[in-house]
Structure 1
Amino acid sequence: MENFVVSARKYRPANFKSVVGQQHITTTLQNAIKNNHLAQAFLFCGPRGVGKTTCARILAKTINCENRGEDQEACGTCESCLSFQNNASFNIYELDAASNNSVDDIRNLVDQVRYAPQKGQYKVYIIDEVHMLSNQAFNAFLKTLEEPPKYAIFILATTEKHKIIPTILSRCQIFDFNRIQIKHIAEHLQYIAKEESVDYEDEALRLIAAKADGALRDALSIFDLIVTYSAGKKVTYQETIANLHILDYDYYFKVVEALLAGNIADTLLIFDEILKKGFDGHNFVVGLAEHFRDLLVVQDSATVNLLEVSDEVKANYIEQSKASSQSFLLSALSIANQCDIHYKSSKNQRLHVELALMKMAKIPAALSLAALAVEDSKKKA
């Protein structure tokens, strides 16, 4: 039986052009290689799962490639590239600072730096989770980082840049990795689904991308989970929301429809149905606030692109936003926000949410009365 390889490993980028959503980093690195302006110490920082270690490995592979192309990509076929791909390269060292964070570990690394590469131009030292090094280890590393041999390049990677001492930061060329946009993650998931011959619904992949919160590795892990659940047949929207325990858009559309009609009974019944399905009241309130925000966003053609959903769902948002006044949405959003802030301190959390929903249901009537009062005052004037 063939061993299963998770998508995050199977489809890990092997060159700069296959890195997702970090073009500002890859372009800079390629230009540095082309113009021979490589720094001797790099610091790659950013959230988890956005490609820091991957880019470090690609850079290490590319600068030692014997037959680099004009686009500064590694050939993948020379002896250096093949040894890298087989984890047999003597020019690339990876150190996990989370488990090797003592002074002795850094001294061993510094001792290795003294020896020039037997073959190839550079020896590359990748130190992952570098913020986990002790202060003594950082201090032991300072001199080597400031004046390394010309053949040595250090690439430090961290998710917590603020924990690194300023003397280390001042010796490194710093690259800030961004959270990857939902659109780019969804496009990458589509590519993988096609490669694996898995049918999919666009909205399901977009939902996975949104749930990943900018981390491609998280998105690939969720994708593998949904594919396994569907026995590798099809990734559907309904199966995705069931697995990730996410409330469907339809519930929020129904709630807002009942609120606009001022129907308290229907609003409370829908909320009761949501609770019976095992959803948390706090998550519902947060999701409802986001729904109000999205309705406000689609009311203006200039901001409609801020809504990252499928065209079908976007059409539903636009239709409901036409029936919702800006005053209603802003008032409801304010109530939902207050409910969110005080939810955890409430003794009766269900009643806390229900009270907020009842207040929202009375907003249309209050706005109508306010409008009538303004008209009356105009007539009297």
Structure 2
Amino acid sequence: MTALALARKWRPRDFSTLVGQEHVVKALTHALDQQRLHHAWLFTGTRGVGKTTISRILAKALNCTGADGQGQMTSQPCGKCPACTEIDAGRYVDYIEMDAASNRGVDDMAQLLEKAMYAPSSARFKVYMIDEVHMLTGHAFNAMLKTLEEPPPHVKFILATTDPQKIPVTVLSRCLQFNLKQMPVPSIVEHLEKILESEQVKSEIGALRILAKAAQGSMRDALSLTDQAIAYAAGPVSESAVRAMLGTLDETYLIQILDALRTGDGGALIAISDEMAARSSSFSLALQDLASLLQKIAVGQTVPSAVLDDWPEATEVRRLASQFNKEDIQLYYQIAITSRPDLSLAPDEQTGFTMALLRMLAFKPGDGSGSVKSSQTPRAGGTSISSAAKAAAAPKVAAATAPATPAPSAPQPTAPKSSPVTYNSEDPDWQSWMKALPVRGLLQQLAFQTELQKWNEQGDSVKATVIVGMPQLASKENVSRLQEALSNHIGKSVTILIETGKASHSIAAVEAKIKQEKQEGAEESIANDDFVKTIQAEFGATVVPGSIRPIQ
């Protein structure tokens, strides 16, 4: 005899066994208990969240007569009367399930509505359940509007859809609408534990978490995957078996990837990718799991208390949150999610995955040294200083300020490590320093938005009071990093104090003013050009606004 699928065997038979839709259960049970029933309900939600199940339970609640045959409408169907047992078996004559995907025309709807006029054969209500109702044609919707608004007293309509946006508002306004939520992972795990215990199948909690995540909010998908896992494992449902079945990645691989990114070890990244290929892991799921882990790390950096102790990876999340810059995590997350669609364009998935990891390494914020492997020293606030970047800072400053020259044909000797710059403490060249600092990204933007107001030097320490054109850039972390970069550059300990005001002489403000003057000059030159004037006069031509650009 063929075994019944778990999704069918463990389908909830009443509201008390329904999982994850408490808001819908509460509203329906109150309506049934108070006898305040609408004539049409609309259940919306993704696949496998309980739309059809709730429809059947509601139909039983409307028609239940109790075990003795004398019961009334109830929010707790008995499960023993003819109405309850026959609806569960799918043969109750007064409960009609219609699939709108295959019966979507106006003729199908007209036939249904014609039968609705007749009284139920034995039930209290004749219940019509129309699944995937958004698939009906426009004429079919129009045909049902009047009956849906004022049906016969013995008729109830239950509509279900995965795409409510395609349902006309004229239909929506005639129904009570309930949006069924996707099942949270903890609820799925708890439900699977109970089912497997009843089925006398041993399981590991880690395996159930993986199945719950793979189900993506669908309880039916979770049960189908559990069926598959039981068959695959041929014994206890273990985490290793489920990972092998789904091709998901062990969390230890993800931790190894992030540790390799932290140390700049490109060789380790390639080795991890090769090992994943040898295990036939899904690289698309690997990027998905990596993005999920990075999101948890970002949460841990911003709200440490949000990292829950019952997370399997909680210890590693806290450790990595303290060892990475916030900018690094944000960049890695962006690369992970944008690289998944690119896997189909790569020569093969492993190549695409490896390039995504190397891209994370190549575009690391705040490190313009171009080196692949560098040692980093963590410091307060989760930031880090690359020792390779420190060593290369002086040559980069010299390169930034020197005039451009043609590349020599023979290799040139490496520039020696320079000492901190010498300067006139009475007239510090703030703009030149900001341009020469070896910083990138948001930190460079902050440097370019600053304007020096006061320079108070006392021995080996300096207090610099500045105005910032964009105050939102001047976070505590960014100011601290700018202080450190400037201290390394001039050889003195610098404390930067932020004041409010308008930075009219910052690098950004000066460059913006120069750009505006060039733009105005270009527009004036075009407006005064004799040829342009002739074209405008003879042909009625006009200059397209915004199309003029100054010559760089």
- TM-score of the alignment, normalized to the shorter chain, above 0.5: yes
Matched, 1:84 2:83: no
Q: Take 1:52 and 1:254, find their aligned partners in 2: how far apart are those partners?
A: 42
Matched, 1:227 2:223: no
**Mapping of 1:188-337 within 5 angstroms?**
188-231=191-234, 233-279=235-281, 281-299=283-301, 300-305=303-308, 311-337=311-337
Q: Which residue of 2 aligns with 1:373?
A: 485
- Structure 1 residues 48 and 282: CA distance shift in structure 2, 3 A: closer
Measured after TM superposition, the shift of residue 311 of structure 1 is 4.2
Q: Name the amino acid aligned to 1:55.
A: I
Given that 1:117 and 1:151 are in contact with CA atoms closer than 8 Å, whether structure 2 keeps it comes out as yes
Matched, 1:33 2:37: no
- Structure 1 residues 165 and 280: CA distance shift in structure 2, 3 A: same
Task: Name the larger-Rg structure.
Answer: 2
Q: Take 1:207 and 1:354, find their aligned partners in 2: how far apart are those partners?
A: 24
Given that 2:20 and 2:183 are in contact with CA atoms closer than 8 Å, whether structure 1 keeps it comes out as yes
- Structure 1 residues 138 and 339: CA distance shift in structure 2, 3 A: closer
Given that 2:248 and 2:286 are in contact with CA atoms closer than 8 Å, whether structure 1 keeps it comes out as no
Given that 1:102 and 1:133 are in contact with CA atoms closer than 8 Å, whether structure 2 keeps it comes out as yes
- Structure 1 residues 374 and 274: CA distance shift in structure 2, 3 A: farther
Matched, 1:169 2:168: no
Q: Take 2:385 and 2:335, find their aligned partners in 1: how far apart are those partners?
A: 15
Q: Take 1:240 and 1:282, find their aligned partners in 2: how far apart are those partners?
A: 17
Q: Take 1:271 and 1:14, find their aligned partners in 2: how far apart are those partners?
A: 47
Q: Secondary structure at the match of 1:293?
A: helix
Given that 2:270 and 2:354 are in contact with CA atoms closer than 8 Å, whether structure 1 keeps it comes out as no
Q: Secondary structure at the match of 1:292?
A: helix
Alignment counterpart, residue 156 of structure 1, candidates 154, 159, 179: 159
Q: Take 1:315 and 1:62, find their aligned partners in 2: how far apart are those partners?
A: 48
What is the number of residues matched between the two proteins? 376
Q: Take 1:320 and 1:351, find their aligned partners in 2: how far apart are those partners?
A: 21
Q: Take 1:139 and 1:283, find their aligned partners in 2: how far apart are those partners?
A: 44
Q: Name the amino acid aligned to 2:492.
A: K
Given that 1:200 and 1:235 are in contact with CA atoms closer than 8 Å, whether structure 2 keeps it comes out as yes
Given that 1:251 and 1:270 are in contact with CA atoms closer than 8 Å, whether structure 2 keeps it comes out as yes
Given that 2:203 and 2:237 are in contact with CA atoms closer than 8 Å, whether structure 1 keeps it comes out as yes
Gaps spanning 5+ residues in structure 2: where?
Answer: 365-371, 377-383, 391-438, 440-480, 495-552
- Structure 1 residues 356 and 30: CA distance shift in structure 2, 3 A: same
Q: Secondary structure at the match of 1:220?
A: helix
Given that 1:42 and 1:174 are in contact with CA atoms closer than 8 Å, whether structure 2 keeps it comes out as yes
Q: Secondary structure at the match of 1:271?
A: helix
- Structure 1 residues 285 and 181: CA distance shift in structure 2, 3 A: closer
Moved more, 72-81 or 53-62: 72-81
Q: Take 2:332 and 2:205, find their aligned partners in 1: how far apart are those partners?
A: 31
Measured after TM superposition, the shift of residue 344 of structure 1 is 5.3
Q: Take 1:318 and 1:76, find their aligned partners in 2: how far apart are those partners?
A: 50
Alignment counterpart, residue 361 of structure 2, candidates 355, 358, 362: 358
Deviations, residues 163-218 of structure 1 (Å, cap 9, x unaligned): 11121111111111111111111111101100100000001101100110001111
Measured after TM superposition, the shift of residue 116 of structure 1 is 1.3
Given that 1:227 and 1:235 are in contact with CA atoms closer than 8 Å, whether structure 2 keeps it comes out as yes
Deviations, residues 279-320 of structure 1 (Å, cap 9, x unaligned): 455543443333222222234333224x9xx54432333333
Measured after TM superposition, the shift of residue 342 of structure 1 is 5.7
Q: Alignment identity in percent?
A: 35
Moved more, 160-169 or 258-267: 258-267
Matched, 1:12 2:11: yes
Matched, 1:181 2:293: no
Matched, 1:21 2:4: no
- Structure 1 residues 355 and 147: CA distance shift in structure 2, 3 A: same
- Structure 1 residues 296 and 378: CA distance shift in structure 2, 3 A: farther
Given that 2:32 and 2:74 are in contact with CA atoms closer than 8 Å, whether structure 1 keeps it comes out as no
Q: Secondary structure at the match of 1:48?
A: coil
Say what the alpha-carbon RMSD is for the aligned residues: 2.6
Given that 1:336 and 1:356 are in contact with CA atoms closer than 8 Å, whether structure 2 keeps it comes out as no
Q: Secondary structure at the match of 1:234?
A: coil
Q: Name the amino acid aligned to 2:139.
A: Q
Deviations, residues 41-77 of structure 1 (Å, cap 9, x unaligned): 1111110000001000100011111236998210112
- Structure 1 residues 286 and 182: CA distance shift in structure 2, 3 A: closer
- Structure 1 residues 90 and 341: CA distance shift in structure 2, 3 A: closer
Q: Secondary structure at the match of 1:111?
A: helix
Gaps spanning 5+ residues in structure 1: where?
Answer: none
Moved more, 156-165 or 355-364: 355-364
Matched, 1:139 2:142: yes
Q: Secondary structure at the match of 2:304?
A: coil
Q: Take 1:333 and 1:104, find their aligned partners in 2: how far apart are those partners?
A: 52
Which has the bigger relative contact order, CA under 8 A and spacing at least 6? 1
Deviations, residues 114-144 of structure 1 (Å, cap 9, x unaligned): 1112333211111111111111111111111
Measured after TM superposition, the shift of residue 3 of structure 1 is 1.8
Moved more, 338-347 or 315-324: 338-347
Moved more, 39-48 or 286-295: 286-295
- Structure 1 residues 331 and 89: CA distance shift in structure 2, 3 A: closer
Q: Take 2:224 and 2:197, find their aligned partners in 1: how far apart are those partners?
A: 17
Q: Name the amino acid aligned to 2:176.
A: Q
Q: Take 1:91 and 1:292, find their aligned partners in 2: how far apart are those partners?
A: 53
Q: Name the amino acid aligned to 1:21.
A: G
Moved more, 147-156 or 269-278: 269-278
Q: Name the amino acid aligned to 1:115.
A: Y
